[in-house]
Amino acid sequence: MNFPTTGTPADALLADLDDRLARDPDVHGARLFGLVYPTGLDSLEALLESVHRRYLFHNALNPFKFPGLAALEADVVRMTGDLLHLTGDGGGSMTSGGTESILMSMLVNRARARARGVDRPEILVPVSAHPAYAKAAHYFDMEVVPVPLDEHLRADVAAAAERIGPATAVVVASAFSYPYGVMDPVADLAALADAHGVGCHVDACIGGFVLPFLERLGVEVPPWDFRVPGVTEISADVHKYGYVPKGASVVLHRDPDWFGHQVFLYDAWPSGMYGSPVVAGARPAAPIACAWAALRHLGVDGYTAITRGLLATTRMVRNTIDALPELRLLGDPVGPVLAFTGPDIAGVGAAMDARGWHCNRIVDPPGLHVMLSPAHAGVIDAWVTDLRAAVADPVAPDPGSEIRYS
Ligand SMILES: Cc1ncc(COP(=O)(O)O)c(C=O)c1O
């Protein structure tokens, strides 16, 4: 498309966008499993739309120009810290998403390691952890040291103990992992990190706004948050199970030294002091304000009620998989993200695709992956019926159809 010479009326543009939207999956229709987190709550969506409109053009770069907006961000960080039991002088910031939260944590851990004289700091990463750690290593000249999984698909603590060494900057644990929805043994990994005087980052990008409410519902959740000694950082994405539009995550640090390592300050240019706490310079305000509004609108009661529904949907999915001898659940997922395999799982996946479901794939072992959202409650009976039919009658997959990015 060339740069337009003349303008196009708004109606025509909106009609064009509607055509394009029709080519993408319906983000409310709950046939996607991952990427989007529809709640089906009209009141929440109406609120988020109104908040978004109010903060369309603000810029979170300069807290002195927009002190009201800066206070919203501080509130989101404090509310999340409270939920995850951050006490004392720690703190953190909002970022654009899980990847940026992880980048910021790795940057801080690199600075701490460098202060101890480590040249090329290492990140001990379970192989089930998100690629954002490898991205951080790539950006920040760090080294990834992979930690294999045990037979339950959790990070193998003994293997981590063999790999930790003088160059280790930080040990990573997922609460819970994306591929299998399984909790790593956070307490053991954090103890290992602590014994070596290094950081422990808990990736709660998915779990951060699910696990606290599962715990309230009586689900046995292994310890994973700041109540665990040795946990130094947590990332938690409001734009996943916090149910706000994309662009909102929180990175939290137990120690106050984070500020000096994470915040970039620069004054050697004609415009004076420039400060920025994250990768982005100018930052959209709407995700911050939406996060603030959603956390306050739903509160513990609202999130717990949503999580209760998620739990019921998850149980239906698990019971269905358990009842089908052709399928096997992978590991023991703690919440609404899970994966399963079977002898002809590619054929089952293709048959589900043909029925209009967007189940993700995993490759080790080959499997299907579902990330349940609250809105799936309305379609789960149909999904279960289709899964049974797909298992009974798998179809040959198109070559390459198993390659997906989540
Ligand atoms: C466990 C985990 N960590 C980090 C991320 C990265 O989050 P984002 O895509 O918001 O950058 C994801 C994304 O799915 C994730 O599942």
For residue 225, give Cα distances in angstroms to 124, 259, 263: 19, 20, 24
Instruction: Kindly state if the Cβ of 236 falls inside 6 Å of ligand 1.
Output: no
Q: What is the pLDDT of residues 22-73, one digit of tens each?
A: 999 999 988 999 899 999 999 999 999 999 999 999 999 999 999 999 999 9
Chain-centroid distance, C-alpha 85? 19
Architecture of domain 24-41+300-390: Alpha-Beta Complex (3.90)
CA 98 / ligand 1 centre spacing (Å): 5
Instruction: Kindly state if the Cβ of 132 falls inside 6 Å of ligand 1.
Output: yes
- Give the pLDDT of residue 400: 64
Instruction: Kindly state if the Cβ of 302 falls inside 6 Å of ligand 1.
Output: no
- Give the pLDDT of residue 405: 47
CA 235 / ligand 1 centre spacing (Å): 9
CA 149 / ligand 1 centre spacing (Å): 19
- The domain ranges of the chain are 24-41+300-390, 48-295
Instruction: Kindly state if the Cβ of 98 falls inside 6 Å of ligand 1.
Output: yes
Dihedral in degrees, nearest 10, Cα atoms 130, 132, 133, 137: 150
What angle separates helix 286-323 from helix 42-54, to the nearest 10 degrees?
150
CA 99 / ligand 1 centre spacing (Å): 6
Where the chain has pLDDT below 50, the residues are 405-406
Tell me which residue has its CA closest to atom 7 in ligand 1. Answer: 98
Instruction: Kindly state if the Cβ of 95 falls inside 6 Å of ligand 1.
Output: no
The dotted CATH code for 48-295 is: 3.40.640.10
Instruction: Kindly state if the Cβ of 205 falls inside 6 Å of ligand 1.
Output: yes
- Give the pLDDT of residue 34: 87
| DSSP per-residue letters across 175-222 | SS-TTT-PPP-HHHHHHHHHHTT-EEEEEETTGGGTHHHHHHTT----
Position of tokens 């002088």? Answer: 89
Residue 237: closest CA among 295, 281, 192, 276:
295
Residue type present at position 117: G
What is the length of the chain? 406
Residue type present at position 381: D
